[in-house]
Structure 1
Amino acid sequence: MIDIFQGIAFFNFIFFSILIWLHKDKIDYAIYIFSFFLLGKGLTLFSNLILTKAIFPSNETILNTGIVLNSFLFFYAPFLCFFALSVVYGAVSLKKYWIHFIPFVLFLLLNTIVVFARLTKVEESVFVKILDIRSTFTKLYYVQVVGYTIASIWILHSYKSESVRFQKMSRWLKGVLIAFFTVWMLFLASSVTETNVNLSEGFTFLGVLLLLLLSNIVIVFLLNNPEFFYNHLSVKLQKLPDDKKATRAVYEKLCQLIVEQQLYKKADLKIGDLSEAIQESSRAVSKVINSHYGGNFNDFINSYRIEEAKKLLRNEDEEITILTILYEAGFNSKSVFNTVFKKMEGETPSSYRKKYLTSMYS
């Protein structure tokens, strides 16, 4: 039963990762970062199935592959922290955090040595020493995942924002992190009680079951709250009305046109310009925006402008003034820009830029 649960959870994590990558141009950057956590966790579950010989029990090549794939045990935890940072500060540079991948590289090296030793059939005493070193290193896993999980929760907890979008996303992420923390604790309990087979297997079963539930919860959350996964410059999938004019196809066409032609950069853009561009009446365009975006024309266009402004504010060239940025994004008034930005992001443009630059160089 444990193997079946692990197999389903593996499929769900990998499937969700692929789904994100196929839509990475539309997906919010923070969700793109989260996909690497799902990938690492999925590959680790797959390696567990191989190493316990639940699948391909007599294939030595597959077994060696499973040993190497097990290196991802130390890969995914940092991405929880990177995800939290991306939710709070926007895109983060992974090159800056390269040091966090050292445990993964070291474990990959150890596993490669184990596979090499198996293939070359080294002396048993030498092989045992190699396995002992690997086993000792593996014990650091719980320190890593617990540390990164707590750090991620703290990042979200310490950041204050009036943005409704951030608050809802933050609550969901905290819940996921707490659930993963529970999983780590169950697996740790299983490791500590390994002398008691029944108790150890019980903890393992609960941990795998919770992982399976989490993998499905993530997908359900995506389907029910696509606006938290897709950025403002993308299509938002919502329940469609029966009105033929308010179809998803029209909305997608409208969004694509705005992005490709960067129409949001026109400060004097009017709804009539959009209706003419997609050859629909102004009333139809207004109805499509209200139905699928959930707001009026001004809020709809300003959401594009704010995303453009955020991208420019994350530019490390501090000589680019906020005045230049607001004009480049399509605004023609500093007061309007500040008001709209604070309404949508919960803070001023200056505060957003300062926090982002601080996160990059702290």
Structure 2
Amino acid sequence: MSQIQSFILIIGALQGLLLFFLLLSDKRVNFASRLLGIQCLLLATTFVLPIIVASGDGPLAWTIGWLVFFPSSYGALTYLYCRTAITGTIPTKGDLIHLLPLLLCYFVNVDILFSPEKALDYVTTGETISLRHAFTKFIFYGQAALYVLLLVRMLVFYQREAKQALSSYNSDVFRWLWTMVAFTVSIWSLKIVFHFFGMETHLNTFADLLLVLMVYFIAIVQWRNPSLFHIDKLTEQLERRKASNERSNNGLLEADMRSSIMQLVETQVKELALYRDQDLTLTSLADKIGVSAHQLSESINHHEGKNFNQFINEFRVAEVCEQLKQNSERKLIDLAMDAGFSSKSSFNAIFKKLTGQTPSQYRCQ
């Protein structure tokens, strides 16, 4: 083991233990933070493993068989963490199925769990042609690919639903999450190249370094801001939309009906300035108009060709533009907040998307 590898492993293990205690002992943190803390602990033990193996038949050799399979749970923990962070819902008993990859590894290799000699031999032997080794490797990399796909599918779903149901939410949340997905794919790709194509060991070292940077950086930020990835009201809106859809016949509305609904909606939203309410949602607007959330969503999507978030934010941008045309001297962020935007970053992104200019450029013009 090189000095660089040893340094990465020691730093990774110490940071993992520290973050584990911080995330589980701080009363401010939520359940998602605790899940991330558990992942930091498992990651710390994984970093300790090569050091234990290098010491040979030492006092901690009995832990090798148990620690070596922990990475098969990383995909599930990342997926559960993201889901819990976004929705704020606590995992249920049904989520115990996500332990299956780890339990399968233990079951297939049960003989080395209680034999330090066999466990040490398993780790140090390297590539073999045994069916057990092949199946274990399949679980290791198969679960990574599976949970990346599940994570992508989940993010696409929640991002779409947030646009359909919420007029304001922090779009940076999904930028963070998509960045995390990109890091995860990069890390596992490097490890697959290293293990299956016999590339240089520096690829594996670099993958370990990326893993340390990704998980621990997110853990530190999560500790400072427990609600980092949470989308307010999203779970409530999903449940209300589901209930509305069940009460509805789910059939397509007639074009005239959609047109009538949209005329009423546009009049109410503009004249009453409903768009200024940062907490305005699809269901709350539907209640004000007197239609179901399903009917309102369908009318906006089909008649206007846009989602609820885009529809409301167009009114907000129009108000800011009108204020700027009147040479308002107020700060841009004050104008944005009064118009209904919830954050500076979302205001800047949406304003540029709709006008092709930043708010500052528009003001200068």
TM-score w.r.t. structure 2 length? 0.54
Q: 1:14 aligns with which of 17, 30, 34?
A: 17
List gaps (5 residues or longer) in structure 2.
241-273, 285-291, 294-365
The 8 Å contact of residues 85 and 92 in structure 1, kept in 2 or not, is answered as no
Q: Distance in 2 between matches of 1:174 and 1:16?
A: 23
In structure 2, the residue matched to 1:249 is none
Count of equivalent residues:
242
Q: 1:178 aligns with which of 175, 182, 190?
A: 182
Shift of 1:207: 0.7
The 8 Å contact of residues 17 and 35 in structure 1, kept in 2 or not, is answered as yes
In structure 1, the residue matched to 2:254 is none
The 8 Å contact of residues 27 and 231 in structure 1, kept in 2 or not, is answered as no
Offset from partner CA, 1:221-265 (integer Å, 9 cap, x none): 347x62634989xxxxxxxxxxxxxxxxxxxxxxxxxxxxxxxxx
1:212-223 to 2 correspondences below 5 Å: 212-222=212-222
C-alpha spacing 1:27/1:82, structure 2 compared with 1 (3 Å): same
Q: Distance in 1 between matches of 2:278 and 2:116?
A: 61
The 8 Å contact of residues 148 and 181 in structure 2, kept in 1 or not, is answered as yes
Any runs of at least 4 consecutive aligned residues in structure 1 with deviations exceeding 6 A, and if so which?
none
Shift of 1:42: 2.7
What one-letter code is carried by the residue in structure 1 that aligns with 2:47? L
The 8 Å contact of residues 36 and 76 in structure 1, kept in 2 or not, is answered as no
TM-score w.r.t. structure 1 length? 0.55
1:1-362 to 2 correspondences below 5 Å: 1-23=4-26, 25-51=27-53, 53=54, 56-59=55-58, 61-117=59-115, 132-140=130-138, 141-158=140-157, 159-160=159-160, 161-162=162-163, 166-194=170-198, 199-222=199-222, 226=225, 228-229=227-228, 343-344=278-279, 348=283
SS at match of 1:93: coil
In structure 1, the residue matched to 2:329 is none
What one-letter code is carried by the residue in structure 2 that aligns with 1:10? A
SS at match of 1:343: coil
What one-letter code is carried by the residue in structure 1 that aligns with 2:227? F
Offset from partner CA, 1:263-296 (integer Å, 9 cap, x none): xxxxxxxxxxxxxxxxxxxxxxxxxxxxxxxxxx
The 8 Å contact of residues 24 and 33 in structure 2, kept in 1 or not, is answered as no
The 8 Å contact of residues 10 and 48 in structure 2, kept in 1 or not, is answered as yes
The 8 Å contact of residues 71 and 111 in structure 1, kept in 2 or not, is answered as no
Q: Distance in 2 between matches of 1:345 and 1:82?
A: 28
Q: Distance in 2 between matches of 1:347 and 1:33?
A: 31
List gaps (5 residues or longer) in structure 1.
233-302, 315-338, 352-362
Structure with the greater alpha carbon radius of gyration: 2
Shift of 1:11: 2.4
Percent identity between matched residues is 16
